[in-house]
Amino acid sequence: MEQYKEEFIHFMVESHVLRFGSFTLKSGRQSPFFMNAGAYVTGEQLHRLGKYYAQAIHDNFGLDFDVVFGPAYKGIPLAVVTAIALQELYGKEVRYCCNRKEVKDHGADKGNLLGADLHDGDRVIMVEDVTTSGKSIDETYPILKGAADVEVKGLIVSLNRMEVGKGGVVTAQKEVQEKYGFPVASIVSMAEVVECLYNKEVEGDVVINDDIKAAIDEYYEQYGVKE
């Protein structure tokens, strides 16, 4: 596993973004882990987060694109910090763009987009925290294509939960990829998280002990993708 992936896993735990226990998801599933990117709240955290996204984009998609797009609302800061990190790490100058949940009908920047204007031929990388159902992509992809004839080069998320999507056969990430025809990648997967943390300490505590590991295994027996 690449060093930045291990660092990112520890970073998620230390930032209280990735937690383990028992959580009821929006889908109604009882999950032994939960990720909330809204818990990144400090300047240092956001600075580091942007770098991890930039590294993952570089590794998965390269740097041949023009715009970083973040779906509202959590995708807005992700797009901003990723654009900054791409310039800092690779000298890659990109524009950022996001959507609004509500259309703005006054001022000079009317409409449902903020940040850079989109132009025909723009190559776009989308950034999200996690894809569980693909709902945000279903909402924002038509907005992107309606604004200009852009090409989505890929979607990057923090964590691949590795569980079945709405169709109950393949992962949510795979469903998005098959539906829209662009690649979907993650900084890390839950398999990598378990590999990195099982019976190992973070800040003096074992995050995934035998009980949590058993709960994760049981969860994937029910919701994991069957080969």
Known catalytic residue at 104: yes
- CA–CA gap between residue 106 and residue 206 (Å, rounded): 52
Q: Give the count of beta carbons closer than 10 Å to the beta carbon of residue 168.
A: 10
Question: Which of 201, 144, 154, 218 is closest to 181 using CA atoms?
Answer: 154
128 assigned to a ligand binding site: yes
133 assigned to a ligand binding site: yes
19 assigned to a ligand binding site: no
106 assigned to a ligand binding site: yes
168 assigned to a ligand binding site: no
26 assigned to a ligand binding site: yes
Q: Which of 16, 58, 106, 145 is catalytic?
A: 106
Beta partners for residue 157, in sequence order: 128, 186
* 48 Cα distance to chain centroid: 15
- CA–CA gap between residue 58 and residue 39 (Å, rounded): 25
161 assigned to a ligand binding site: yes
135 assigned to a ligand binding site: yes
73 assigned to a ligand binding site: yes
Known catalytic residue at 16: no
Is the link from the previous residue into 73 a cis peptide, with omega within 30 of 0? Answer: yes
101 assigned to a ligand binding site: yes
Q: Which of 104, 119, 166, 200 is catalytic?
A: 104
Which are the catalytic amino acids? 104, 106
Binding residue ranges? 26, 73-74, 100-101, 104, 106, 128-136, 161
- For the annotated binding site for 5-phospho-alpha-D-ribose 1-diphosphate, the residues are 26, 73-74, 100-101, 104, 106, 128-136
Could you list the residues known to form a binding site for orotate, using ranges. Answer: 132, 161
